[in-house]
Structure 1
């Protein structure tokens, strides 16, 4: 009997890198710089974000090892918390994913706007442009068409090429007169200023480092997990930190720290520094294409998550509705695309979507990571059986949870309206759960009473 092939060190390392490196690095460096009062705070935020990601990835790896089920990232809530918490958190995770799709679509809108318009378009115009890829790929998926694996690989190829291009600018622009030579006004800051600045910068950094939580799904798929998981995650995160620092330093050298704070389409600006206006246009178009592929990936994957949640009874049965002829989850696909467009309609700017998304993530990340304390107690019998068990416990999960609480507080302080909106969404889903369960209990009670009445009449 053949054994199922398992992931080796290189496989797991590449999975971690692939999960984390998305489109954020081509935009969020500007947001982090805008929040950072000094270049030191800017670069320290990228290092700290990477270390938090390392703690989180190792925490999720052990959760996945102790609770190895398909779709573990959302099923672990039902295992460890009250069903109402599981329902509400899983729903806000889906909304966070839809908001991330909208945010990435806005990144693409900012880049392609440089090609279409001679002047900076309004936020409403950018939001309208961002809706186009969502609507296009919604229509494509609704017709049952699928992008091939080769087409989807375009996303990763473009990202890698752009990262290499941006890092190489450090060598191509040596000796050139770049904006980095501009000197900022010297200001004296207090410790509270540094802490607040670091917290707000970490919001953008957290968005860029997201994705490692999916390591929860590979706990039982790794060869020699005790050794391979920590090494693979450590190497992967170190590679990502190195890449992000190198790219951020390239932005810093090519654009200048003060200009980086207000610049949009930063990758294309660096390309223009190297190759002139043509390089800027080509980079803008390539990144917009990469955004199209990313939007399609989310529209392909998230409706299937909604289908799985409906199958498990977490979402209503309507989300299981499928067009059998075209193999399309019509209700789930429509709902997910609609959420993304609604977020764009109300938020319009990347900054607002970023704060809203990360605050929802703070709730999901902190509560999901905290399940490690529950699972460790419930699965003591698995210790010593070969599963992955992180070192320095409980320091790593505590650092991770504390970091996301800190980020959540930073969002609350800097943009309280976004935080209250996110809390209201979470509370609304809790209310929906109890209302639905109340209706179900009444229906069950009513059917039992009818049954008892019927049996009573029969007995008479």
Structure 2
């Protein structure tokens, strides 16, 4: 590890294009290629599937343009952690940072890295999740895909210790590549669309039905149960867990505000452009899916790999290789963005005396190297545990709750700091921010009522942060 340099500052190397590609690249991982299969098991029809993606996209866009005001007010590293600390108090900021480090960011890094390994297994079976390298008990084993994921995290962490410019080159290259590839898949998918399948998929598009068991494709349609009344709301919220996971990490660009040129302008603009691009891609991809294959085949795609089933239908057997390579490119670029940006949150927390002091120091390349490596260790532990997927399902509630708190913070800061400089004001204020708060709280409430198993684990993780905060406050006072 390079010797820390006390007198260095972060370099503003990122322009608007770089920031926009970071937003898009951090959002697009493996989710869009997989989660719609499980979402269809929850809602059972094309209309409801597209509506879930539309609602998620609307929420993401509203949140992104609302965050623009906060990014203009606080154009420095740390992003959402800083916004929460400034709008409320250091405790709320710490609870977000604690959750961010223990599972939100590190769990996402782990999940995306292992997804890279799983799809590498399509090209070389010895490196996939079907190859168990170590087995300790019947339930605890380590696959080659998990080891590949760990190797990827270590590689990308090392690359990002070399400086922001190196990470920027990887992010720009891989994000541009996967955007082109996704556009290509969508276009070729629409060219191969089957009008009979399309019509059949939309024939009963607004009858919500849930599959009562997770069984193999081709099984009887009798396993579907029509939903009515409040059951529809519960199924809708459960389906949104997948779309929200796939649309998350859009706020990662706020964490690196200290390295963006003209952050007061470029952060807010990149949030809007990046989330808009990804939202349009996600909706187009799902419309394409239901134009190529029947709902039953999409819902029961092998291992939930819905894009793989569609690509095989469109391109034949070569589709497997194409999608595997696409997802590897996508997850590689996604993890780079997550690793690059996440470390800046711990850096800022350490400046406030709320993380390991060494994390607040930059190396000779003007990046928080220790923060990168400690994030790497946590993500690798989650890779080995194999529980990152469960944790991410259970943390969706907390992620949205923190988004809601942050947007409420806009209202608080308008009242407590009316004279503060605001180069950019939240578009549609107060209506659109209030709409997001309403939608976010509705989602969280529905999960509490209908899917409590998706809520209490995340809350426990957050609450563990309470005693940690007070212990840390005593041991590590903030920098002067």
Distance 1:237 1:320 in 2: 30
Distance 2:268 2:362 in 1: 37
Q: Quick one: which of 324, 330, 347 aligns to 1:284?
A: 324
Distance 2:435 2:95 in 1: 25
The aligned residue for residue 271 of structure 1 is 311
Q: Quick one: which of 33, 55, 58 aligns to 1:51?
A: 58
Contact 1:138 1:333 in 2 (8 A): no
Q: CA deviation at 1:246?
A: 1.3
Q: CA deviation at 1:73?
A: 2.2
Distance 1:153 1:236 in 2: 13
**Are 1:155 and 2:174 matched, yes or no?**
yes
The aligned residue for residue 28 of structure 1 is 35
Distance 2:22 2:379 in 1: 26
Distance 1:321 1:7 in 2: 24
Give the secondary-structure state (helix, strand or coil) at the position aligned to 2:251.
Answer: helix
Q: Which region of structure 1 is more displaced relative to structure 2, 262-271 or 366-375?
A: 262-271
Q: CA deviation at 1:108?
A: 2.6
Contact 1:199 1:410 in 2 (8 A): yes
If each structure's helix is expressed as a fraction of its own residues, which one has the higher value?
Answer: 1
Give the secondary-structure state (helix, strand or coil) at the position aligned to 1:370.
Answer: helix
Q: Quick one: which of 194, 208, 215 aligns to 2:232?
A: 194
The aligned residue for residue 283 of structure 2 is 245
**Are 1:367 and 2:417 matched, yes or no?**
no
Distance 1:60 1:200 in 2: 26
The aligned residue for residue 101 of structure 1 is 109
**Are 1:65 and 2:72 matched, yes or no?**
yes
Q: CA deviation at 1:284?
A: 0.6
The aligned residue for residue 467 of structure 2 is 431
Q: What is the aligned length?
A: 429
Contact 1:109 1:127 in 2 (8 A): no
Q: CA deviation at 1:43?
A: 0.7
- Deviation track 1:221-264 (CA, whole Å, cap 9, x = no partner) reads 466x9xx968x866765544332221001222223322222323
* Residues 1:320 and 1:205: Cα distance change in structure 2 (over 3 Å): same
The aligned residue for residue 447 of structure 1 is none
Distance 2:235 2:363 in 1: 50
Q: Quick one: which of 361, 380, 384 aligns to 2:418?
A: 380
**Are 1:422 and 2:450 matched, yes or no?**
no
Q: Quick one: which of 74, 80, 85 aligns to 2:81?
A: 74
Q: Which region of structure 1 is more displaced relative to structure 2, 282-291 or 236-245?
A: 236-245
Q: Quick one: which of 64, 86, 93 aligns to 1:86?
A: 93
Distance 2:329 2:20 in 1: 26
The aligned residue for residue 375 of structure 2 is 336
**Are 1:134 and 2:142 matched, yes or no?**
no
The aligned residue for residue 42 of structure 1 is 49
The aligned residue for residue 451 of structure 1 is none
Contact 1:412 1:419 in 2 (8 A): yes
Give the secondary-structure state (helix, strand or coil) at the position aligned to 1:190.
Answer: coil
- Deviation track 1:403-457 (CA, whole Å, cap 9, x = no partner) reads 233333444455534522221211111111112334579xxxxxxxxxxxxxxxx
Contact 1:134 1:295 in 2 (8 A): no
Q: CA deviation at 1:11?
A: 9.0
The aligned residue for residue 407 of structure 1 is 443
Structure 1 residues without counterparts, runs of 5 or longer: 442-460
Distance 2:199 2:154 in 1: 42
RMSD of aligned alpha carbons: 4.0
Distance 2:327 2:22 in 1: 22
- Deviation track 1:296-343 (CA, whole Å, cap 9, x = no partner) reads 34333323432332123221214346776x988564334312322333
Distance 1:65 1:34 in 2: 41
TM-score by length of 2: 0.75
Q: CA deviation at 1:402?
A: 2.8
Give the secondary-structure state (helix, strand or coil) at the position aligned to 2:55.
Answer: helix
Distance 2:245 2:192 in 1: 29
Q: CA deviation at 1:376?
A: 0.4
Structure 2 residues without counterparts, runs of 5 or longer: 1-11, 133-138, 204-220
Distance 2:55 2:28 in 1: 16
**Are 1:398 and 2:438 matched, yes or no?**
no
* Residues 1:281 and 1:37: Cα distance change in structure 2 (over 3 Å): same
Distance 1:126 1:254 in 2: 36
Distance 2:143 2:449 in 1: 26
